[in-house]
Amino acid sequence: MKNNKTARSYLVNTLVIAAAFILFQVLTGLFGSEGDFKLVLVPSLWQCCYLILLAASLNLVLGFLGQLSLGHCGFMAIGAYTAALISLACERAGVFTDKAGLVYILIIFGCIIAAGLLAAVTGLLVGIPALRLKGDYLAIITLGFGMIIVNVINNLPFCGQDGLSQGSAAASLYKTGLGFGSKAKVTYLWIALVVTILCLTLMFMFVRSKYGRAIRAIKDDEIAASASGINVSSYKVLTFTYSAFFAGVAGALYACANSSLSTSSFAFTNAGILNSTFVVVMVVLGGMGSLTGSIVAAVIMFFVNYQIANGSWVAALPPFLNGVFKYPMLVYAVVLVIVIIFRPRGIFGTYEFSLTRLPEDVKKARARRAAAKAERKEAVSHG
């Protein structure tokens, strides 16, 4: 009976996703060359895709495993540089010339997978020593590893300026075989969407498997978990590696969406939207232990950031508010503290959105609200 239900929910989800995807392809066909669609919506979707992957993958470690990692963007940097350099090597070797065709698509996918794998290997190497520690120490050591990764990339001649040992070692890489322009972004948007959906599915499956249950047990009580036969350290390293893989994939998507890479954009903090702290903010606001929450938070925060950076209404604000909105992190920091105080597990908590369970959830929420109302009424009538 239960199996039947699971099968049905998989079927429903697959159908809905497929329908949405086809709808999107049709839309792309219709509006692909139009200004706003090409210049605003599609680049935004690319950014949303890698932010979603980044937030969701960190949530595996932060929300489900309950360990704070502050170097998540380091893995993303590895993914981004791997993808950019492999594609560049292919281009210089003459495997493809005009950034189109079947070979190019295969190379893109190859780059994405290689980026994920290399990030995962790094995650494994970092995780084995780092996860011996926990809590504050783990936070710091991951912060340290994140900085070391960035620092090493800065000093590798391989990753400097023109890439593959051309030009000197530097913080920025200007040549990549990916780096889509706005037209290519429209053409290859389906790659970003497919990759994101696939990765999210893999993460959902992980969380709902026996591994997911094990890591949630570890989060709740490490000692009790190990007493019930869960190998705590290997599960921790596994989750960390798995999460690093998706961060690497997010990095590859980033490399696709940006024409040049700079290590400062993967730092612990910086002025932009992409840094390890910001990812933590997304995960915490969305809900530690809710992939749905991470997705929603990533999209909303991207939108808010975009509005703050480009919205005409910001310029119309009085000058003193202008300063506040120029630094959206200021607002997020306040929101973060408020959320932590009033909803310590984030806005979505551990709630997961599900199409098949949606009617039930709505019913339950209504019942809860009604009960709360009745209680209030009773309290009033009792004086």
Partner 1 sequence: MSTFIQTVIVGLRLGSVYALIALGYTMVYGIIRLINFAHGDFIMVGGYTIIFTVPLVLALGLPAWAAVLAAVAVCALVGMGTEIIAYRPVRKKGTNMSALITAIAMSLFLENLAQAIPAIGPNPKVADQIFTAGGFKIGSVTFEYTTVITIVISAVIMIVLYMFTQKTRLGRAMRCVSEDKSAATLMGINVNHTIILTFAIGSALAAVAALMYMAQYPRIYTTLGSDLGIKAFVSAVLGGIGIIPGAVLGGFVVGLFESFTTSYISSSLADAVVFLILIVVLLLKPAGIMGKNVGEKV
Q: Does 315 bind partner 1 (CB under 8 A)?
A: no
Number of C-beta neighbours around residue 87 at 10 A: 27
Structure tokens at 179: 């780096």
Q: Per-residue x/- mask for partner 1, residues 40 to 69, rule CB under 8 A?
A: --------------------------x-x-
Asked if 152 touches partner 1 (CB under 8 A), the answer is yes
Residue 195 or 281 having the CB closest to partner 1: 281
User: For residue 97, which phi and psi values (nearest 5 degrees)?
Assistant: -125, -45
For 202-345, list the strands marked E by DSSP: 261-262
Select 179 or 346, whichever has its Cβ closest to partner 1: 346
Please choose, out of 96-104, 139-147, 198-206, 365-373, the segment that lies near partner 1 by the rule CB under 8 A: 139-147
Options 103, 309, 337, 367; binder of partner 1; rule CB under 8 A: 337
Q: How far is the CB of 336 from partner 1 (least distance, A)?
A: 4
Q: Beta-carbon neighbour count of residue 89 at 10 Å? A: 13
377 lies in the site for partner 1, by CB under 8 A: no
Q: Which of 159, 230, 280, 297 binds partner 1 (CB under 8 A)?
A: 280
CA 235, 140, 350: angle at the middle one, nearest 5?
50
CA separation for the pair 77, 74 (Å, rounded):
5
Rounded CA separation 368/113 (Å)? 45
How far apart are alpha carbons 49 and 43 in whole angstroms? 10
Residue 304 within binding range of partner 1, rule CB under 8 A: no
Among candidate residues 142, 13, 125, the one with its CA nearest the CA of residue 65: 142
Interface pick for partner 1 out of 136, 315, 379, 382 (rule CB under 8 A): 136
Binding residue (CB under 8 A) for partner 1 from 11, 89, 137, 165:
137
**Can you tell me which residue has the tokens 């090409």?**
38
Contact (Cβ atoms closer than 8 angstroms) between residue 356 and residue 9: yes
* Burial readout 164-195 (b: 16 or more C-beta within 10 A, e: otherwise): eeeeeebbebebbbbbbeeebbbbbbebbbeb
The rounded distance, in Å, linking the Cα atoms of 177 and 273 is 24
Amino acid at 230: I
In the list 269, 310, 357, 366, the residue contacting partner 1 (rule: CB under 8 A) is 269
φ and ψ at 176, to 5 degrees? -145, 155
- DSSP codes of every residue in 262-304: EGGGGSSS-SSS-SHHHHHHHHHHH-TT-HHHHHHHHHHHHHH
Give the one residue of 330, 358, 370, 374 binding partner 1; rule: CB under 8 A: 330
Q: By CB under 8 A, how many residues form the interface with partner 1? A: 46
Phi, psi of 161 (to 5 degrees): 25, -90
- Binding segment toward partner 1, per CB under 8 A, in 5-13, 46-54, 124-132, 186-194: 124-132
Q: Does 115 bind partner 1 (CB under 8 A)?
A: no
User: Does 141 interact with partner 1 (rule: CB under 8 A)?
Assistant: yes
The least distance separating partner 1 from the CB of residue 223, rounded to whole angstroms, comes to: 6
Q: Using the rule CB under 8 A, is 178 a contact of partner 1?
A: no
Using rule CB under 8 A, residue 371 touches partner 1: no
Can residue 326 be called a binding residue for partner 1 (CB under 8 A)? yes
Comparing C-alpha atoms, which of 63, 114, 359 is closest to residue 249? 114
Among 9, 154, 172, 226, indicate the residue that binds partner 1 (CB under 8 A).
Answer: 154
List of residues contacting partner 1 (CB under 8 A): 66, 68, 70, 129-130, 132-133, 135-137, 139-141, 143-145, 147-148, 151-152, 154-155, 223, 268-269, 271, 277, 280-281, 284, 288, 319, 323-324, 326-327, 329-330, 332-334, 336-337, 340-341, 344
